[in-house]
């Protein structure tokens, strides 16, 4: 028999490796940005077109590469980060496996321009599908510029599996956030289709968070800091009132590397126990520094998972540190029965010298004289002589008291007839969650939150489609702050939002001014509605306008619907029931969950 096992060609092996390293355009962005960081760059520029499908270009002012290094960087398992197996457990850099550039070059057109500071001219290399097309000397500035064009051009099946441009752009922005937050001292700039998305100068950690997530993020941050022999913890957590249903603003960095850890996330959630509602997730930006020899990074192809030697100790320290910070900044309630707050010294007076009070005595003061003038330093009030107490009742004889008593007729009936008639036909609530409505065959149980969602959903979808929504003008415009990508998302759906009744305009790259809102909502509901809307849009933005309108209507209906636990009057309950049965699909919510159920009288008979 002939042998059936054979070595794969290099270009096939590279394409297989690319399946692990490059899953989408965001994977390429991550690898290129990390290479720029490892090159000691202080300024990095990211340029993308068509969500990275057409172009991903990263330019840095790092140390650059020689001609030989530039050519070797595209070979498999070629790296400058490790020389022996022991180096895998003492890593202080990002890329170390030596497969990123080789994998990227196997599935795209790559142009590399690089030059070291000591060299007079640089090197330019063009590669298409692992094949070097050209290599020549060129005049370029110090640093490296690498452009990845036509991603997955030779693997159509992989390209067809990519999501829409807004979704892929969101993944790229997520990777950009992770690298930019881990290295605030590095200046970053991001351009998408010629528009500047981020311009971040060299900053500290707080300034970098505010620069990415907007000025509003500054008031949300609670600093966290603790230094031990095992781990050094620093960064910020968000105040409990800013906890969200999504896990968007959750960032762990270990030795300046973004990681995902459900175990450490549980430690943060445990620290917030009792401060946030069930189902909400706290936000955090936490930076952990540990001994590189105590962690193993090389356990996952994307290097976003880390194995700790003593993760139980880190869990306990992280939880205790966050609890301490929340208590120190008066975020968490503290009960101390032995402490008298009256003895607390304000920080402003801690280093001030005490001032002896001045005492002034009036030698002419006589408290037994009827007309004594009370002289004080700050007041010049004359103490008036109080007349005898009998004078308080002077003149009452001429004004007889006119006192009336309210009386009710006591009857033997607990309710009057009109009240009995009205109550017997009315709806009522159970647990402030369900509405019970009597029907001919028994009764109907209605989920009030889902019912209101269905009513608002059909109303909003009609307004968006027919474009006949009514808006109420605000006397004082409402200004909301968002990040630059969020502002651009809102501008894309501005027309649909205006059809629902929201009128707004952009003030700058991080603020919008709302001048009109739908009649059915209050001003305090506007900010939560927009935050929930942005969260739903980021999950998946379809290409068709109808599906986009459907997402908008679902998201706004969920935010505006009456919440579970809200007490409704009898009139409000009956009005909601009537509105529900006027809908086209009253039995299911916009997310196809049941809204109502019926219970026959025979069901009760079986229980007795």
CA 299, 301, 304, 309: dihedral to nearest 10 degrees?
10
Question: Mean of the pLDDT values across residues 441-447?
Answer: 85
- What is the average pLDDT value for the chain, to the nearest integer? 78
Quick check: 458 pLDDT over 70? Answer: yes
- Predicted pLDDT at 347: 55
Quick check: 394 pLDDT over 80? Answer: no
- d(CA 491, CA 494) in angstroms, rounded, equals 5
With residue 491 as reference, give the H or E element that holds it: helix 484-492
- d(CA 181, CA 204) in angstroms, rounded, equals 10
Question: Nearest CA to 438 among 585, 605, 570, 543?
Answer: 570
Residue 506, token pair as written in the block = 């952009």
Q: How many helices and strands (H and E) does the chain possess? A: 17, 22
Tell me how crowded residue 364 is: count the other CB atoms within 10 A of its CB.
Answer: 8
State how far Cα 415 lies from the chain centre.
53
Residue 346, token pair as written in the block = 């304000």
Residue 140, token pair as written in the block = 């370029």
Place of tokens 């070979």: 75
Question: Nearest CA to 228 among 294, 297, 288, 286?
Answer: 288
10-55 per-position pLDDT tens digit: 666 666 665 566 888 998 999 899 889 988 899 999 999 998 999 9
- Percent with pLDDT over 70 in the chain: 77
Matching CATH number, 207-328, of 3.30.70.20, 3.30.230.10, 3.90.1010.10, 3.30.390.50: 3.30.230.10
CA–CA distances in Å: residue 599 to residues 203, 439, 440, 446, 591:
63, 9, 11, 11, 24
CB 213 within 8 A of CB 237: no
**Which residues fall within 8 angstroms of residue 276, CB to CB, at 6 or more apart?**
240, 243, 282
310-356 per-position pLDDT tens digit: 788 888 899 999 988 888 776 655 555 555 555 555 655 656 777 78
CA–CA distances in Å: residue 177 to residues 33, 85, 169, 181, 601:
11, 31, 12, 6, 59
Beta strand spans in 37-81 (E): 43-49, 55-60
Where residue 416 falls among pLDDT bands split at 50, 70, 90? very low
Tell me how crowded residue 277 is: count the other CB atoms within 10 A of its CB.
Answer: 8
Residue 195, token pair as written in the block = 């528009």
Where residue 60 falls among pLDDT bands split at 50, 70, 90? very high
CA 88, 90, 95, 99: dihedral to nearest 10 degrees?
-10
Place of tokens 């356990």: 299
Most confident of 91-100, 141-150, 405-414, 516-525: 141-150
Q: Please state the CATH superfamily assignment of the domain spanning residues 434-597 in this structure.
A: MutL, C-terminal domain, regulatory subdomain (3.30.1370.100)
Which neighbouring-strand residues pair with 126?
A: 111, 134
β 143-149/109-115 pair status: antiparallel
Read off the pTM.
0.66
CA–CA distances in Å: residue 416 to residues 410, 412, 421, 422, 427:
11, 10, 9, 10, 19
The residue length of the chain stands at 608
Report which DSSP code applies to 281: B
Where residue 421 falls among pLDDT bands split at 50, 70, 90? very low
Which neighbouring-strand residues pair with 115?
A: 143
61-115 per-position pLDDT tens digit: 999 988 888 888 888 766 665 555 555 555 556 554 557 788 888 889 999 999 9
Sorted by where each begins, the domain ranges of the chain are: 10-200, 207-328, 434-597
Q: Which CATH class is domain 10-200?
A: alpha beta
Beta strand spans in 50-130 (E): 55-60, 109-115, 122-128
Question: Nearest CA to 183 among 28, 31, 25, 38?
Answer: 38
CA–CA distances in Å: residue 64 to residues 7, 119, 329:
34, 10, 46
């Amino acid at each position: 028999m002939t042998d059936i096992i054979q070595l794969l060609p290099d270009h096939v092996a590279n394409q297989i490796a690319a399946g692990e390293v490059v899953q989408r355009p965001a994977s390429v962005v991550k690898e290129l940005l990390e290479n720029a960081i490892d090159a000691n760059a202080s300024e990095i520029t990211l340029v993308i077109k068509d969500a990275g499908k057409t172009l991903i270009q990263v330019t840095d002012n790092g140390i650059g590469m020689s001609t030989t290094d530039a050519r070797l960087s595209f070979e498999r398992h070629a790296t400058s980060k490790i020389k022996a197996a022991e180096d895998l457990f003492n890593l202080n850099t990002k890329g170390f496996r030596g497969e990123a550039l080789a994998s990227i070059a196997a599935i795209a057109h790559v142009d590399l321009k690089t030059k070291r500071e000591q060299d007079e001219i640089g090197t330019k290399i063009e590669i298409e599908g692992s094949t070097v097309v050209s290599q020549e000397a060129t005049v370029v500035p110090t640093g490296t510029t690498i452009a990845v064009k036509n991603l997955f051009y030779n693997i159509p099946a992989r390209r067809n599996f990519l999501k829409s441009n807004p979704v892929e752009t969101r993944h790229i922005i997520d990777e950009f956030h992770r690298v930019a937050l881990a290295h605030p001292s590095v200046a970053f700039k991001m351009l998408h289709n010629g528009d500047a998305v981020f311009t971040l100068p060299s900053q500290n950690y707080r300034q970098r968070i505010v620069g990415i997530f907007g000025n509003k993020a500054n008031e949300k941050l609670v600093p966290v800091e603790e230094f031990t022999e095992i781990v050094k913890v620093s960064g910020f957590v968000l105040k409990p009132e800013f906890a969200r249903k999504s896990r968007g603003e959750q960032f762990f960095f270990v030795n300046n590397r973004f990681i995902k850890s459900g175990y450490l996330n549980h430690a943060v959630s445990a620290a917030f126990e009792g401060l946030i509602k069930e189902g909400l997730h706290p936000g955090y930006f936490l930076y952990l520094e540990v001994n590189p020899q105590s962690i193993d990074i090389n356990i996952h192809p994307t290097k976003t998972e880390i194995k700790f030697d003593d993760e139980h100790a880190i869990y306990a320290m992280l939880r205790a540190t966050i609890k301490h910070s929340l208590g120190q900044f008066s975020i968490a309630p503290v009960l101390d029965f032995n402490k008298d707050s009256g003895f607390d010294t304000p920080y402003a007076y801690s280093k001030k010298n005490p001032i002896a009070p001045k005492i002034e005595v009036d030698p002419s003061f006589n408290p037994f004289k009827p007309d004594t003038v009370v002289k004080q330093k700050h007041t010049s009030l004359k103490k008036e002589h109080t007349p005898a107490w009998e004078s308080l009742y002077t003149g009452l004889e001429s004004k007889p008291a006119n006192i009336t008593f309210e009386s009710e007729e006591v009857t033997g009936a607990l309710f009057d007839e009109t009240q009995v008639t009205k109550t017997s036909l009315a709806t009522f609530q159970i647990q402030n969650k369900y509405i019970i409505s009597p029907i001919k065959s028994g009764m109907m149980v209605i989920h009030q939150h889902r019912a209101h969602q269905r009513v608002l959903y059909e109303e909003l979808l009609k307004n968006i489609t027919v474009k006949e929504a009514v808006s109420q003008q605000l006397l004082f415009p409402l200004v909301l702050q968002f990040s630059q990508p969020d502002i651009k998302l809102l501008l894309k759906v501005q027309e649909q939002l205006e059809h629902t009744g929201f009128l707004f305009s952009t003030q700058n790259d991080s603020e919008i001014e709302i001048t009109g809102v739908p009649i059915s909502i209050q001003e305090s509901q506007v900010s939560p509605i927009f935050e929930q809307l942005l969260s739903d849009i980021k999950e998946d933005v379809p290409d068709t306008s109808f599906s986009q309108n459907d997402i908008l209507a679902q998201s706004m209906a969920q935010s505006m619907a009456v919440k579970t636990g809200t007490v409704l009057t009898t009139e409000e309950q009956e009005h909601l029931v009537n509105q529900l049965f006027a809908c086209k699909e009253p039995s299911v919510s916009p997310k196809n969950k049941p809204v109502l159920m019926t219970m026959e009288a025979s069901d009760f008979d079986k229980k007795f």
